[in-house]
Amino acid sequence: MLKRSLYDALLNWKANNHQKALMVDGPRQVGKTFLLEEFGRREYRDLVKIDFLVDEDARRRFGSAQSAARVIELVSLIAGHELVPGETLVFFDEVQRAQNLVTFSKYLVIDGRFDLAMSGSMLGVELGGVRSWPVGYLHTIDMAPLTFEEFCWARGVPQSILDQVREGYEKKTPLDDSLHGLLIDLFRQYLVIGGMPEVVQKSLNTRNDLGVVRQVQADLLGLYREDIAQYAGNRSLQVKAIYDAIPTQLDKENKRFQLKTLKDGARFERYANDFAWLVAARSVLRTVNVTEPKPMLARTEEQGRFKLYLSDVGMLLASYPAEVAMAAISGERSVNFGSVYENVVAQELAALRSPLRYYHHSRKGEVDFLIETRKGAVLPIEVKSGKDYKLHTALNSLLGTDEYGIEEAVVLSEANVSQGRRAGKTVHYLPLYMVGLVAAEASTPVTDSDALKGVRLDPIDFSGFSE
C-alpha cells in the first residue's frame, strides 16, 4: 500500500469524531476506496463494505430503504453476525448510487451500533439530490493525488533526507549541492508521473517505464472525459470543451482562461455553471484573481477572472506530446515549464486545503499565488522555470507598496535555498521540492479545531448588571 498522510486524519476521526459519519471526498481514482478498506482492516475487528457500484441488489435494497432501522437491518443481514460498537466499521462505497443513506447517516450515528464511513465518485455533482443533509453528524475529509512528500515515500526516500529538507526550509539554509541535485531530479520525475496512485504504482512495478505510465494516464484522462459525458447532462459538450482546452490555455503566456477560445463573444455568465461543474467534480483546480493583496483575501476575489489547472500534474503532462515529458525529465531549458510548475504548486496548495488565489493588476503585473499564513499575513508566491528566477518585477511592486503591508515573499524554482532583499523586504528563494512546506504555511481552515485545542475562554461575570 502506498503510504498516505490522510491515514492520520482517519485515525483522528476514529479517536475523536466517530460520533459523526465519515465522508471521504476527492477526484476520481485517487485511492479513496483502497485507503478506507485498509483503514477498516487495520483499525477495526470487523469491516463491512457495501459497494453500490458493483452490487446491484444492494443498490436496489438500500436505495429503496425508507428508514434508518431498515438500513441497520440490511447491514446486519450482509454482515451475518453481531455488529459491535467501536469494533465494526460499515463502509458505503459509491454512496452517490444510494443517496438516501447520506440523510439516514445521522440516525445511524445516533444508533451507535457501528462506525460509518462513506465515499464515492463525483460527490460534488451527484449529491445535489440529498433531501436532508445531516448537519452536525458528518465529518468530511478531502483526498487528493499523492503530494510530492507522499511520492518520496513511495520512492523509498529515507526519512533522514526529508528531515534535511525540512531543516533547510525552516532555517532557510541551502542543502548539500549533490543532495539538491538528486531531489530536483526526483521532482522532475514527479512532474511526469504525477500523484495518481495507479500511475505511481505502475511506475514502481515497471521500473519507471514511461510508455506504460503515459498509457495509464491516457486511460485516466479518458475516464474523466467519460464522466463528463455521463454526469454533465445537456451541457456535457460545453464542459468537455473547457476541460480539453486547459492544457492549451496553460501553455499561453497569459494563463488566465480565455472564454473566446470556446466561442467568439462568449460571456462568463453563460458558462459559469460549466466551470462550477468541473470544480465540483474535482477534475480541475480553480484559482481566482484578487484585487487587493491584503488579509482577508476572499473580500476582493473576482470570480470571473481565473485560471484552471488539472487536478494532477502528471495528467497535464500526459496531455502534451511525449517529447515534452522527456524534456521535463531531462530539465531541458528549451521548453518553458512555467505552466507545469504552476500546476504542481496549485496541486500542493489544494492538497493542504489552502484556497487558490493569484494577483493581477494592469499596472503592477501578476503574481502567481497568494496565501494567508497562520499568522494572518499575506504571502506572495512566484513560480519560476528558468535561470532568471531572481527577476520578478510584479513581486517587487507588491513588496514596494507599503499599504499592502507584505513583509516577505517566496520564489520557487529549481535553484537551491537562498535569500534576497527587495524594497527592504525579504524574498526567500526556495527549490520547488519544498512547495509542500510552503503550502503548510497556509492558514488552518475554520473547520479544523486543532488550532484551538487547549484554548479556553474565561467565564464572563454579569452579576454586576443584575437588577
User: Which candidate, 64, 113, 66, 121, places its Cα nearest to that of 92?
Assistant: 121
Backbone angles phi, psi at 43, to 5 degrees: -105, -10
At 90, phi and psi to the nearest 5? Answer: -100, 125
User: In this predicted structure, what is the pLDDT of residue 457?
Assistant: 72
Predicted pLDDT of residue 196: 98
- Tens digit of pLDDT at every position of the chain (467 positions): 799 999 999 999 999 877 899 999 999 999 999 999 999 999 999 999 999 999 999 999 999 999 999 999 999 999 999 999 999 999 999 999 999 999 999 999 999 999 999 998 888 888 876 767 888 899 999 999 999 999 999 999 999 999 999 999 999 999 999 999 999 999 999 999 999 999 999 999 999 999 999 999 999 999 999 999 999 999 999 999 999 999 998 988 778 888 888 888 788 888 999 999 999 999 999 999 999 999 999 999 998 899 999 999 999 999 999 998 899 888 887 667 889 999 999 999 999 999 999 999 888 899 999 999 988 899 999 999 888 999 999 999 999 999 999 999 999 999 999 999 999 999 999 999 999 999 998 865 544 555 556 676 777 776 776 55
User: Which pLDDT score, from 0 to 100, does residue 133 have?
Assistant: 80
| Beta strands 115-119 and 425-431, pairing class | unpaired
Cβ neighbours of residue 241 under 8 Å, at least 6 residues apart?
262
Q: How much is the pTM?
A: 0.92
DSSP 63-131: HT--SHHHHHHHHHHHH-SPPPTTTEEEEEESGGGGTHHHHHHHHHHHH-SSEEEEE-SSHHHHGGG-S
What pLDDT sits at residue 446?
Answer: 44
Report CA torsion sign: 261, 263, 269, 274.
negative
Axis-axis angle for helices 100-111, 68-79 (nearest 10): 80
DSSP at 136: T
SS3 30: coil
Residue 439: closest CA among 338, 356, 315, 317 = 356
Amino acid at 77: L
Give the C-alpha separation, 137 to 106, whole Å. Answer: 5
List CB contacts of 236: < 8 A, sequence separation 6 or more: 228, 229
Give the list of residues 6+ apart from residue 154 with CB closer than 8 angstroms, or none. 2, 3, 146, 200, 201, 204
| Residue 398 contacts residue 380 (beta carbons within 8 Å) | yes
DSSP 292-333: --SSSGGGGEEEEEEEEEES-HHHHHHTS-HHHHHHHHHT-T
The continuous run of DSSP H or E covering 239 comes out as helix 236-250
- Domain spans of the chain, in order of start: 6-142, 148-439
Joined grid coordinates for residue 85: 460498537
Which of these CATH numbers, 3.30.70.20, 3.40.50.1240, 3.40.50.300, 3.30.70.1450, describes 6-142? 3.40.50.300
Q: Phi then psi for 318, rounded to 5 degrees? A: -70, -15
What pLDDT, on a 0 to 100 scale, did the predictor assign at position 252? 81
What's the rounded Cα separation, in Å, for the pair 175 and 189?
20
Kindly report the number of other CB atoms within 10 A of residue 395's CB atom. Answer: 26
Residues, the chain: 467
Map grid coordinates 486547459 to a residue: 246
Q: Which long-range contacts (CB under 8 A, 24 or more apart) does 95-98 make?
A: 95/23, 95/52, 95/119, 95/120, 95/123, 96/120, 96/121, 96/122, 96/123, 96/126, 96/127, 97/52, 97/53, 97/59, 97/63, 98/52, 98/58, 98/59, 98/62, 98/63
Closest CA to 147 of 168, 160, 125, 162: 162
Q: Is-contact 127 96, C-beta < 8 A? A: yes
Report how far residue 49's alpha carbon sits from residue 460's, in angstroms, rounded to the nearest whole number: 49
Short-list 381, 385, 380, 382, CA closest to 414: 385
Residues 159 and 451: their CA atoms lie apart, in Å, by 26
Using an 8 Å Cβ cutoff, are 408 and 427 in contact?
A: yes
Angstrom distance (rounded) from CA 212 to CA 218: 10
Distance CA 180, CA 190 (A): 15
Measure the CA–CA gap between 434 and 341, rounded to whole angstroms. Answer: 12
